[in-house]
Structure 1
Amino acid sequence: MRARMHDLFGGHRLSPSQRRIAQYLLDHPREAVFLSSVDIAEKVGVSQPSVTRFATALGFDGFPEFRSALRSALLARPADQPAAGVRNEIQLLIDAEIRNLETLRDTLADLGPLHKVSAALAASRPLPVIGLRVSAPLAQLFGYFAAKVLPDVRVLDVPGSTLEDGLTRAAETGAEWVLVFALPRHPAETKKAMLWARRVGLKIALVTDQRLSPLAEHADVVLAAPVCSDFAFDSHAGATVLCTALLHTVLGATPTDQQASLDLFETTAEERQIFLSR
């Protein structure tokens, strides 16, 4: 049933608010098909127009048409899956990455630790985020989305005294935690930054490739996602998924009024025509 609903939502670029709506529908499929757009808005914590925009983003004229398609999707019989043929080199590499994702999935069976660190990060004012060298894009990704909900997110991706100054100012203005992304190869600069963070009194949440990472001993909390080294360059699919999962749980740990800022952004973004329509 979830797979058929994923097919309905797939291939569409959804805003964070719309993804929350989609997640609610995935979690409550049999209930959702009988709810109105107002009911769903109340359940998710968004406005009724956001639910309508979600339906139109999927290509429907309005919510009633979407709900009819949703009901049909739930009643549809699954199509037969084509038999897998001989895989080429890249497909085999992707298979290795899929196994890494399965490993990550299994390690997240208990969401207690993830929720705990997410609540701590969401409460930190400000929240510095470190990512150096190959880890810089993940820090930027987290920072971009987290800043839509958290009031003060500071991405630090330049090593040296500038980074140390940023950590010092964050600690002086009330920060309690710093989030560090550190994927192989682990830069010595990241270790230096973590030691400085500890010196100025910050607790450290580390996202890395394994719990035995050479940087793990310097962190208060370690979140690990396997990195695929079978390609010519490392593939960070698992780390990216973990980053997205962390964003998801950080959002869930923020007060409702802060979550509402996402809905406000989507409304103003539509008015300002920030994004191209499909």
Structure 2
Amino acid sequence: MIEESIKDNYNNMSKGQRKIADFIMDHMETAPFLTAAKLGDSCGTSESTVVRFAMMLGFDGYADFQQELADQVKTKLTNKAEIKTSHYRENKNDILKGVLVADAQNIVDTIHLVDESAYERALELIKKARHVYIVGIRTCAPLASYLGFYLNMIRQDVKVINSMNISEIYEQLFWLNSEDVLIGISFPRYSMRTLKAMEYGSEKKACLISITDSEYSPMNMYSSCNLWAKSDMVTIADSLVAPMSIINALVVGLYIKNEDEVKKNLGKMENLWNDLQTYSGDEMTDGG
């Protein structure tokens, strides 16, 4: 185990290597997503020091160390889920209330976690953007879709990136530029495709907004506007209640900032929905 190896070798490490060791021990779930250069920057050391650190622990290079660390984090998260599963298995009568209480606690924790100034900045960036792109992969895809659905009611030129293929994601982001906003949504275990999309957005000088779990998330490497929400998993399922609340707050905030225009849009949409009999009451007519 890398943690044990770090502890065994800590007294023999240089000052720079100890900085790396301390960072990894404190940010075990984030570290696997950092390149050697990024890890060095985060610790205030050089890329070469990071490589030497990995080799001192017995690895051929940083790539091997990074892969082993990722595997161990994956196992750790799986074990956490199994522990919670065991609890609910032994207390079957507590499952419903237990999950609801856990989700409610995530929202309470998020109230203390989220940065209100970042929230206000996100509203302004989305409002002023030429185009808004949203990327959320795997379990975060429903969050991206939900946000995209409501943003399309509020403003034009909103695009949800809906591909698992990294080359297709780049293709859908091809016209991204400094006048646009890219919103990335990712929670542990962080999607590498989402991180790549954010990296691409950074290279294109777009305004980046991340919706993620904490200040230690690798999403923060690319975004200067970060909205944090607790997402502690309940057994095998990620808790996305608090992230959904953050998204609802964005939608409501944007509505308030542009209320008159949004009301006009909703009025036009309501007429369209009636014409198309979109909802269950629309097909009812007098006399049946």
Q: TM-score, normalised by structure 2?
A: 0.60
Question: What do residues 103-137 of structure 1 show as CA deviations (whole Å, max 9, x unaligned)?
Answer: 223445x7443122112112111111111122111
Report the Cα offset of residue 170 of structure 1. 3.1
Matching residue's letter, 1:204? L
5 Å matches for 1:184-263? 184-254=188-258, 256-263=260-267
Report the Cα offset of residue 95 of structure 1. 1.0
1:156 match: 161
2:209–2:225 Cα contact (<8 Å) kept = yes
Q: In 1, Cα distance between the equivalents of 2:263 and 2:131?
A: 17
1:167 match: 173
Question: What do residues 237-273 of structure 1 show as CA deviations (whole Å, max 9, x unaligned)?
Answer: 1111111111111222337324420122123323432
1:119 match: 124
2:135–2:183 Cα contact (<8 Å) kept = yes
2:142 match: 137
Query: Is 1:269 equivalent to 2:273 in the alignment?
Result: yes
Matching residue's letter, 1:94? L
Q: In 2, Cα distance between the equivalents of 1:262 and 1:170?
A: 28
Secondary structure of the residue aligned to 2:174 is helix
2:180 match: 176
Which contiguous aligned blocks of 4+ residues in structure 1 show a shift greater than 6 angstroms?
none
Q: Which moved more, 1:255-264 or 1:191-200?
A: 255-264
Q: CA RMSD in A?
A: 2.3
Equivalences, count:
190
Q: Which moved more, 1:121-130 or 1:157-166?
A: 157-166
Q: In 2, Cα distance between the equivalents of 1:178 and 1:155?
A: 10
Q: In 2, Cα distance between the equivalents of 1:113 and 1:198?
A: 18
Identify, as 1 or 2, the structure richer in helix.
Answer: 2
Q: In 1, Cα distance between the equivalents of 2:194 and 2:275?
A: 41
Question: What do residues 200-253 of structure 1 show as CA deviations (whole Å, max 9, x unaligned)?
Answer: 111210001222112212111110110131333212111111111111112223
5 Å matches for 1:1-80? none
2:27 match: none
Change (3 A) 1:227 1:267: same
1:127–1:175 Cα contact (<8 Å) kept = no
In structure 2, runs of 5+ residues without a counterpart are: 1-92, 283-288
Secondary structure of the residue aligned to 2:173 is helix
User: Percent of aligned positions with the same letter in both sequences?
Assistant: 19
Q: In 2, Cα distance between the equivalents of 1:260 and 1:211?
A: 38
Change (3 A) 1:255 1:98: closer
Change (3 A) 1:88 1:258: closer
Matching residue's letter, 1:167? L
Q: In 1, Cα distance between the equivalents of 2:173 and 2:258?
A: 23
Secondary structure of the residue aligned to 2:150 is helix
Q: Radius of gyration: which is bigger?
A: 2
Q: Which moved more, 1:264-273 or 1:204-213?
A: 264-273
Secondary structure of the residue aligned to 2:236 is coil
Secondary structure of the residue aligned to 1:88 is helix
2:154–2:254 Cα contact (<8 Å) kept = no
Matching residue's letter, 2:225? V
In structure 1, runs of 5+ residues without a counterpart are: 1-86
Query: Is 1:90 equivalent to 2:90 in the alignment?
Result: no
Q: In 2, Cα distance between the equivalents of 1:167 and 1:253?
A: 27
1:103 match: 109
1:93–1:231 Cα contact (<8 Å) kept = no
Matching residue's letter, 2:97? Q
